Amino acid sequence: MKILPPTPENIRIVAEALRQGDVVGMPTETVYGLAGVAFNPSALARIFETKERPTFDPLIIHVAPAMGARTITDLARLKLVDRSALQKPAQELADRLLGQLWPGPFTLVLPKLPDVPDLATSGLPTVALRMPKHPVAQALIEAAGAPLAAPSANRFGRISPTSAQDVQDEIGDRISYCLDGGRCEVGLESTVVSLDSFGRLTLLRPGGTPQSKIESIAGTPLLVAALPSAGAQVAPGMLESHYAPRKPMKLLSAPLSTLSDEQLKAEIRSGVGILLLSGESRAAAERISRVCGVRATVRTLSETGDLAEAARNLFAEMRAMDAMDVNVILAEPSTVQHGLGHAIGDRLRRASAKRLDG
Ligand code: TXA
Ligand code: MG
């Protein structure tokens, strides 16, 4: 894979590849996406194949300001949204949300038109839409001349990429290009909210846009999608993995009785990695190696406990831990339940529950 600086010439090259049905790495302000033309089913199939993502997990379709995608009337003109499936108050609410939260880390799930391929929506009657704020994403969508479907550019179940190098490490052997837009400013994915025909809003995924901001625009509290229970799948992307213990499980390379002492030592390294939300916990973390007698590697998401900084560093630090000589990663839960604290807590919980999400 070539990492390309976002010059006008390179944006033209990558847009042409998209028009030919290729899939490419695209920077956004949240995380890097693996983009393909949303109306091209074979490009969509390549996205799922490249990520090894199951096709029951639908994609987010990205639009740009240059398309004039400001209201749901515009989104209907772009053959994405079935405006008539929404009652008048729901139409007005959608326009208000898009008017105030786009471009930005906000994804709205709306009734779709038949023109949107089933592969983009996993056969659902709805489509997830977002207008990214990153200028390179906007320029690429405009140059491609079509909305782009883009999940995060990681292999399924892995950490989302927040730099072009992360994309290289994840899927660099599978795609031709990634535009380099620098490190992602937000660092975790968009907030996903669905709107039904009556104007009810449901939070499907906490993310870069605080829930309170959406609620103050809507003037009502969001419904929160219940976690799946008793085998029921409430919404795509919300599956809990069934067999994952809470701690990372490590499979030994061979039956225990056949491992030499040397091999055993190599397999069972006692190092733990400790992910702190703020510098405040450092002394407590140092206590672990003393009390438990193990080597502890400490990384801090934000020295001052600043949530925006912690969100920006979250995935990069998780990746760094993955690459270190530690057996178990211990993460502090987020005690802040609102705004980015909610989104950070959600990602930490999912990472430790080994949730199925792409
Ligand atoms: O910040 C982001 O949103 C990033 C960047 C690249 O824009 N994209 C991203 O896409 O996170 P992805 O595919 O990893 O997450 C899409 C999630 C799905 O897992 C699902 O939960 C939800 O959005 N989703 C998409 N379409 C939906 C639909 N029709 N109904 C309900 N949920 C949907
Ligand atoms: Mg993802």
HEC string for 48-60: HHHHCCCCCCCCE
At 252, is the pLDDT very low, low, confident or very high (cuts 50, 70, 90)? low
303-333 pLDDT, tens digit per residue, is 999 999 999 999 999 888 888 878 788 888 8
Which ligand has an atom closest to residue 228 CA?
Answer: 1
Distance from Cα 152 to the centre of ligand 2, integer Å:
4
pLDDT given for residue 233 in this prediction: 46
State the alpha helices, DSSP H only, in the chain.
8-19, 41-51, 72-77, 88-101, 118-121, 135-144, 164-171, 211-218, 261-267, 282-292, 307-323, 339-352
For residue 281, the 8-state DSSP code is G
Cis bond leading into 103, ω under 30°? yes
Least confident of 80-89, 128-137, 307-316, 344-353: 344-353
At 244, is the pLDDT very low, low, confident or very high (cuts 50, 70, 90)? very low
Looking at every residue in the chain, the average pLDDT score rounds to: 88
Please indicate whether residue 287 or residue 306 has the higher confidence score (pLDDT). 306
pLDDT given for residue 227 in this prediction: 58
> Best mutation site among 48, 50, 107, 185 for ligand 1, i.e. most ligand atoms within 8 A of its Cβ?
107
pLDDT given for residue 238 in this prediction: 54
Distance from Cα 35 to the centre of ligand 2, integer Å:
12
At 11, is the pLDDT very low, low, confident or very high (cuts 50, 70, 90)? very high
Distance from Cα 293 to the centre of ligand 2, integer Å:
37
User: Greatest CA separation found in the chain?
Assistant: 71
How far apart, in whole angstroms, are the C-alpha atoms of residue 224 and residue 5?
A: 40
Q: Whose CA is nearest to atom 15 of ligand 1?
A: 151
Q: Can you tell me which atom of ligand 1 is nearest the CA of 205?
A: 21
At CA 332, angle to CA 314 and CA 248, rounded to 5? 80
Q: Token digits for 32?
A: 């890097």
Please indicate whether residue 36 or residue 253 has the higher confidence score (pLDDT). 36
Which ligand has an atom closest to residue 25 CA?
Answer: 1
- In 3D, which of 229, 259, 211, 246 has the Cα closest to residue 328? 246
pLDDT given for residue 267 in this prediction: 58
- Collapsed DSSP state (helix, strand, coil) of residue 24: strand
pLDDT given for residue 78 in this prediction: 98
Report residues near ion ligand 2: CB below 5 Å. Answer: 152, 358
pLDDT given for residue 24 in this prediction: 98
Residue 228 pLDDT exceeds 60: no
| Ligand 1 pocket, Cβ-based, cut-off 6 angstroms | 28, 30-31, 33, 57-60, 105, 107, 109, 121, 124, 126-128, 130, 132, 150-152, 189-190, 192, 194, 204-205, 235-237, 357-358
Which ligand has an atom closest to residue 151 CA?
Answer: 1
Q: Token digits for 29?
A: 């302000």
- The answer to whether the beta carbons of residues 48 and 150 sit under 8 Å apart is no
